[in-house]
Amino acid sequence: MAAQVPRTAADIQPPLGTAPYDHAHHVKYQDGELVWAAQGGDIEQPQGRVKRDDIVAVLKAPEGTPGYLVYSLAEAPEGEQPFKLSVLLAPQLPEEPLAEFLLADMPAHFAVQASHLLHVIVSTRSGTGQATAFFDHVLRPLLAALGLEAHTEPDLPAMPGSYRVTATQSPHTVRDFARSLGVVGTSGATSLSGNGSNVPSAPTILLLSGDGGVIDLLNGVGGSSSSAAPPTVALLPLGTGNALFHSLHKPLYSAAEATGASGQSPLVLGLRTLLRGASAPLPTFRASFSPGSRLVAAPEGIKAAVVAEDGDGDAHASGDEHDHPPIDHLVGAIVASYGFHASLVWVSDTPAYRAHGAKRFGMAAAELLKEAHAYAATVAVRRPGSTEEELLLAPDSPKKPRAEFTYVLATLVSSLERAFTISPASRPLDGQLRLVHFGAADGERTMDVMRAAYRGGEHVGMCWTTQTQSDGGKDVEDGVGYDAVDEVRVTVHEPDPRWRKVCIDGTIVELEDGGWMAVARSAEQRLRVLVDPSVL
Ligand SMILES: Nc1ncnc2c1ncn2[C@@H]1O[C@H](COP(=O)(O)OP(=O)(O)OP(=O)(O)O)[C@@H](O)[C@H]1O
């Protein structure tokens, strides 16, 4: 049975970091807002408003206090205090928004017992570095309101009502954390809770980061050699692209946009999913690399986890960020790319670019497109259900393989940023790899394609006329290819290592000249992820 939300008056003292509660006497819901007035006030001249879009949850007030507590999040990204969790105590609430947001029971994934630990990871350098502020001013007080308190002792046994916080200290912290989950006695992960309850039997991890945190967890928890049940991850999007989060929540953005609420905050959605979400297996792929492939750092020497192979076939860390350790595979959940996308991720991951948040991609893209490099490669695909590999062909011949590409990107998700819909056919958790590709194109054409992707995926089906290299420069039809695939193999033919980078969920690997990357859906279950029940 799920644990109850706190019911004592002490549990609803204003949690640390929040302003004192506002006390409403009259409340009404109009035009997508709760409006309220205090005792003696006039509801027609409200004292305060809470936008529906900002509501995170409604809790019942404790016994002896009639009414409800409405938790809402306000964000001011450029301000001194970027996040503010507000609480309104109201004697009653209208059916809307009560029915939608009332949290009657503690989510099962918050129940802490010997068989199930709750972790919070704060990735301090993700995005523009706001994960710590989000934890301090939003998540910690919200969890406190649910009767959950933080501790930072790695060796404490599971204590009901507590969770363990890990703040990243280096690019290795998340991967090291993930590896520790496989160690009996640290994770508390058992195959079954065995107590007849619906408490999960593996830990729940609240991840305050971008996509990098996910790939570090995926490659740290180990594969089939690990006996632990897969942990469940709750994503709180505090990175730059947050591709996995935005893709899993895309139907919710679309639903909100249909009602005119285009500004729906991802962090509010993330908190709602955290409180009311359901756990589902996270589809993953395995990217294998030819011998001689190496992990590489960003151009200025700063890059995330350094992961290398151990004898068990699980990815793990070695060396520091200046090493280029050999690598033979990575597990990903988002994207495996070669060409413009991989180069862009590689060159934009410097401290100077990172300071610009999501704008860093546009800035780095402008530089890269001045060169408009044509990436020499061959690309083979295996289509769904087929056992045969087939080469992607040149536009002027039904037999000749295409020899130059600008873009080769295999993905399991729809969106690489909230508004960048690279694979419009992808649905949350559908587990289908899709390949977006086009041949050598100049900078302007590539920008056109990228702009169309920002218009909801309009790049799919784009066509243009191009000139062949041979046959005296004949005009032929070309365009963006978009295919469901079970496997993709990219073989690079580039003497300059600069153009031999591939990107796996943000991690960069350099192939050798003539080397290859093969990407295929993986049947392994390494992680589960919390999603809004509507996407299941
Ligand atoms: N304290 C730290 N010191 C050094 N590196 C860190 C630290 N904390 C986090 N990192 C690294 O910073 C990177 C942050 O990546 P993450 O993907 O979370 O954010 P992002 O790149 O801004 O977002 P996205 O991948 O969604 O675009 C990770 O590679 C992580 O290992």
| pLDDT (tens digit per residue) in 267-298 | 999 999 999 999 999 999 999 999 999 999 75
Give domain status of residue 3, yes or no: no
The one-letter code for the residue type at 348 is S
Is pLDDT larger for residue 141 or for residue 256?
141
Do 86 and 163 fall into the same domain?
no
Domain co-membership, 265 together with 311 = no
The stretch 392-421 carries a mean pLDDT of: 95
Q: Are residues 159 and 189 in the same domain?
A: yes
**DSSP 3-state helix, strand, coil percentages of the chain (rounded to 5)?**
25, 30, 45
Residue 360's pLDDT is what? 85
Of the candidates 251, 246, 413, 214, which has an alpha carbon nearest to the alpha carbon of residue 330? 214
User: CA 76, CA 74: separation in Å to the nearest integer?
Assistant: 7
Bridge partners, 530 (sequence order): 279
CA of 171 to the centre of ligand 1 (A): 7
Does residue 200 have a pLDDT over 80? no
Inform me whether the pLDDT recorded for 407 exceeds 90.
yes
- Determine the average pLDDT of the residues in 225-247: 89
One domain for residues 326 and 380: yes
3-class SS of residue 213? helix
For residue 262, is pLDDT > 80?
no
Q: Which domain holds residue 406?
A: 284-522
Instruction: Report the 3 state secondary structure along 73-108.
Output: EEECCCCCCCEEEEEEEECCCCHHHHHHHECCECCH
Residue whose CB lies within 8 A of the most ligand 1 atoms, among 132, 168, 174, 214, for a mutation test: 168
Closest residue CA from atom 18 of ligand 1: 210
Does one domain contain both 296 and 431?
Answer: yes
**277 and 291 assigned to the same domain:** no
Ligand 1: distance of its center to the CA of 434 in Å? Answer: 26
**Residue in 190, 200, 255 with CA at minimum distance from that of residue 53:** 255
Amino acid at 299: P
Which of the four pLDDT bands, split at 50, 70 and 90, describes residue 422?
very high
Atom of ligand 1 nearest to the CA of 242: 26
Distances (CA, A) of 298 to 190, 302, 315, 349, 401: 38, 5, 20, 6, 32
Q: What pLDDT is attached to residue 318?
A: 35
Q: Does residue 170 register a pLDDT over 70?
A: yes
Distance from C-alpha of 29 to C-alpha of 34, rounded to nearest angstrom: 4
Q: What confidence tier does 258 reach under pLDDT thresholds 50, 70, 90?
A: confident
- Say what the pLDDT of residue 481 is: 98
Considering 48, 82, 101, which residue would you say is the last residue of a domain? Answer: 101
> Which of 209, 307, 361 has the most ligand 1 atoms within 8 A of CB, as the residue to mutate?
209
- Cα 477 to averaged position of ligand 1 atoms, centre (Å): 41
**124 CA closest ligand 1 atom index:** 8
Q: Which residues sit with their C-beta closer than 6 Å to ligand 1?
A: 123-127, 168-171, 209-213, 239-242, 304-305, 506
**CA of 215, closest atom in ligand 1:** 17
C-alpha 34/C-alpha 103 separation (Å) is: 18
Q: Is 1 a member of any domain? A: no
Say whether pLDDT at 69 is over 90: yes
Q: What is the distance in A from the centroid of ligand 1 to the CA of 168?
A: 9
What is the C-alpha to C-alpha distance for residues 534 and 252, in angstroms, rounded to an integer? Answer: 8
Nearest-atom number in ligand 1 for the CA of 506 is 25
Ligand 1: residue whose CA is nearest its atom 5: 171
Q: Where residue 139 falls among pLDDT bands split at 50, 70, 90?
A: very high
| CA of residue 402 to ligand 1 center, whole Å | 36
Q: How far is the CA of 344 from the centre of ligand 1 (A)?
A: 16
Condensed to tens digits (0 to 9), the pLDDT of residues 23-57 reads: 999 999 999 999 999 999 999 999 999 999 999 99
- Are residues 220 and 316 in contact, defined by beta-carbon separation less than 8 angstroms? yes
Q: Which atom of ligand 1 is nearest to the CA of 173?
A: 31
What is each CA distance from 445 to 125, 370, 419, 440, 464, in whole angstroms? 34, 12, 20, 10, 9
Q: How confident is the model at residue 353 (pLDDT cuts 50, 70, 90)?
A: confident
Residue 351 maps to which CATH number? Answer: 2.60.200.40
Local confidence band at 182 (pLDDT 50, 70, 90 cut-offs): low
Task: Give the amino acid at 101.
Answer: F
Say if 4 falls within a structural domain: no
pLDDT in the model for residue 259: 76
Residue 358 has what pLDDT?
Answer: 77
What is the reported pLDDT for 271? 98
Task: Output the residue whose Cα is nearest ligand 1's atom 15.
Answer: 212
Is there a domain that residue 370 lies in? yes
Average pLDDT over residues 190-214: 72
Going by C-alpha positions, the residue among 278, 214, 205, 280 that lies closest to residue 241 is 214
Q: How does pLDDT run across 85-123, given as a tens digit for each residue?
A: 999 999 999 998 899 999 988 888 887 665 568 999 999
Please identify, among 101, 134, 157, the residue that sits at the C-terminal boundary of a domain.
Answer: 101
pLDDT average, residue stretch 145-171: 83
* Co-location of 60 and 146 in the same domain: no
